[in-house]
């Protein structure tokens, strides 16, 4: 259990004046993050707990797909990026670059990892027996954004899960691509956005007709999408043309225009990177081939920001159970016997595997209630003199529904 009095990052009355996004304002005021500069946020203990829970959900799903986890580097040698043409700022306009002090050589600060991973695999892939490969990492990306005004949703520095698939042929690639799309929907459901996330057709760039985005409906979103509520799919404005609609058997009449936050995307890459970097394998007929690639991204901070944007209310954040920093927020209204009872309840819960934040500060009940609502832990347990009167029971407020009831302590967390 964690005593709130000992947690260094308490709630704050105000977010910094230059912070205009609701997700960052709430997360700063609730003590989850700290703004270092526009688009750059540190994670404080509560925020890091949420981030780790999101990370673990994603890791479980990627491992279930057969993903192998690695950790690539931020510093990037330019040579491999020159092979693909993406070193140039006229092609990739959001590079951060830096220089080696010993020889002045320019280095990239990674914004993605298609090139270096493809290069790395040239040491490990020889034949069709080495494929398919699904390789992922949960690693920090850097993007030199012109504007960074959406809090955690458009960071200049952010943690990202990026998986890259390498398949023998297009058919195998497509099969994995669809499995990964399912897995993404499962991730968004687990973090509490199941209802509002739509698989969305988007531009495929030069390698494919379409890529797929996962868009969460929200007025804070930067994207415009057209949603078919019955079919549970959507089309991004960038490909919203009569030809595309007809090719997808969608009719304009059944689509609604919505603002949305892109919480994930999956992208067919074809053989382009393998070709320019020289990754190949011998197929079972002994012929040299290039693997078909795909890339699959989820920004962890962006996902956390989207949850806050979409699920919070006028009192503060409302965390879904699976990614809440703690399951229970114990509000202690008194000292002596009351505090002892609170500790006993917390002990019982922790023995069952639940996590508990205990607010035993010497401040008014009103402050504790409004802090608890701001912080947004799903279940608030209120322990006061009243609790002592009814052994085995405690007052419980559900943050989401605001419903208050007396519940039996031993029925909690079962």
CA–CA gap between residue 231 and residue 15 (Å, rounded) = 40
Of 5 and 241, which CB lies nearer to a copy of itself in the complex structure?
5
Of 234 and 307, which CB lies nearer to a copy of itself in the complex structure?
307
Tokens 């608030």 identify what position? 380
221 counts as binding a copy of itself under rule CB under 8 A = no
144 counts as binding a copy of itself under rule CB under 8 A = yes
Instruction: Identify the DSSP state of 286.
Output: S
Backbone angles phi, psi at 314, to 5 degrees: -70, -10
12 counts as binding a copy of itself under rule CB under 8 A = yes
Q: Which stretch binds a copy of itself (CB under 8 A): 115-123, 214-222, 305-313, 350-358?
A: 115-123
CA–CA gap between residue 80 and residue 286 (Å, rounded) = 27
By CB atoms closer than 10 A (0-12, 13-18, 19+), residue 195 is exposed
Which are the contacts of 235, defined by CB distance < 8 A and separation ≥ 6? Answer: 200, 201, 225, 226, 244, 245, 248, 250, 255
Under a CB-based contact definition with an 8 Å cutoff, are residues 261 and 197 in contact?
no
Q: Which stretch binds a copy of itself (CB under 8 A): 113-121, 314-322, 350-358, 389-397?
A: 113-121
Q: Show the site string, 20-59: x = touches a copy of itself by CB under 8 A, - = not.
A: -----------x--x-xx--xxxxxx--x--x--------
CA–CA gap between residue 174 and residue 357 (Å, rounded) = 45
Of 92 and 248, which CB lies nearer to a copy of itself in the complex structure?
92
Binding a copy of itself (rule: CB under 8 A), the pick from 24, 26, 30, 135 is 135
As measured in angstroms, the least distance from the Cβ of 156 to a copy of itself is 6
How many residues of this chain interact with a copy of itself, rule: CB under 8 A? 57
287 counts as binding a copy of itself under rule CB under 8 A = no
Of 31 and 233, which CB lies nearer to a copy of itself in the complex structure?
31
91 counts as binding a copy of itself under rule CB under 8 A = no
Binding a copy of itself (rule: CB under 8 A), the pick from 98, 246, 251, 254 is 98
Kind and range of the H or E run holding 394: strand 393-398
112 counts as binding a copy of itself under rule CB under 8 A = no
Nearest CA among 370, 388, 277 for reference residue 331: 370
100 counts as binding a copy of itself under rule CB under 8 A = yes
Of 125 and 225, which CB lies nearer to a copy of itself in the complex structure?
125
By CB atoms closer than 10 A (0-12, 13-18, 19+), residue 43 is buried
Binding a copy of itself (rule: CB under 8 A), the pick from 130, 172, 322, 348 is 130
Alpha-helical runs (H) found in 314-383: 337-351, 365-375
SS3 (DSSP) at 360: coil
Q: Which stretch binds a copy of itself (CB under 8 A): 8-16, 202-210, 364-372, 378-386?
A: 8-16
Sheet holding 2-3, edge to edge: 2-3, 356-359, 328-332, 379-383, 393-398, 404-408
Q: Which residues make up the interface to a copy of itself (CB under 8 A)? A: 5, 7-10, 12, 31, 34, 36-37, 40-45, 48, 51, 68-77, 93-94, 96-102, 107, 109, 116, 120-121, 123-125, 129-130, 133, 135, 140, 142, 144-147, 156-157
């Amino acid at each position: 259990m964690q005593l709130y009095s000992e947690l260094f990052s308490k709630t704050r009355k105000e977010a910094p004046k230059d912070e205009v996004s609701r997700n960052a304002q709430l997360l700063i005021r609730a003590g989850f993050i700290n703004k270092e500069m526009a688009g750059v946020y540190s994670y404080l203990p509560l925020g890091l707990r949420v981030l780790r829970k999101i990370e673990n959900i994603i890791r479980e799903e990627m491992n279930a797909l057969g993903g192998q986890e690695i950790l690539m580097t931020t510093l990037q040698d330019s040579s491999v990026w020159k092979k693909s043409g993406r070193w140039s700022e006229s092609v990739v306009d959001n590079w951060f670059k830096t220089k080696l002090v010993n020889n002045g050589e320019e280095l990239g600060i990674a914004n993605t990892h298609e090139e270096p991973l493809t290069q790395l695999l040239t040491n490990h892939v020889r034949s069709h027996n080495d494929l398919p490969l699904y390789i992922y990492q949960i690693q920090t990306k850097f993007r030199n954004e012109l504007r960074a005004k959406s809090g955690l949703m458009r960071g200049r520095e952010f943690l990202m899960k990026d998986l890259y698939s390498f398949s023998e042929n297009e058919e195998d690639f497509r099969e994995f691509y669809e499995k990964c799309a399912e897995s993404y929907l499962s991730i968004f459901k687990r973090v509490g956005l199941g209802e509002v996330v739509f698989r969305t057709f988007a531009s495929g760039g030069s390698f494919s007709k379409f890529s797929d985005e996962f868009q969460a409906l929200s007025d804070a979103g930067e994207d415009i999408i057209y949603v078919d509520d019955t079919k549970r799919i959507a089309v991004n404005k960038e490909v919203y043309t009569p030809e595309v609609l007809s090719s997808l058997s969608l009719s304009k009449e059944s689509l609604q225009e919505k603002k949305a936050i892109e919480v994930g995307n999956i992208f067919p890459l074809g053989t382009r990177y393998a070709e320019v970097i020289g990754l190949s394998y011998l197929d079972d007929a002994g012929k040299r081939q290039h693997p078909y690639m795909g890339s699959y991204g989820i920004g962890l901070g962006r996902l956390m920001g989207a949850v806050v944007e979409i699920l919070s209310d006028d009192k503060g954040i409302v965390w879904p159970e699976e990614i809440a920093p703690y399951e229970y927020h114990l509000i202690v209204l008194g000292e002596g016997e009351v505090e002892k009872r609170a500790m006993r309840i917390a002990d019982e819960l922790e023995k069952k595997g639940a996590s508990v934040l205990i607010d035993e500060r010497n401040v008014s009940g009103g402050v504790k209630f409004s802090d608890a609502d701001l912080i947004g832990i799903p279940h608030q347990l209120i322990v006061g003199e009243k609790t002592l009167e009814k052994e085995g029971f405690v007052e419980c407020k559900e943050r989401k529904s605001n419903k208050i009831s007396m519940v039996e302590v031993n029925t909690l967390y079962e």
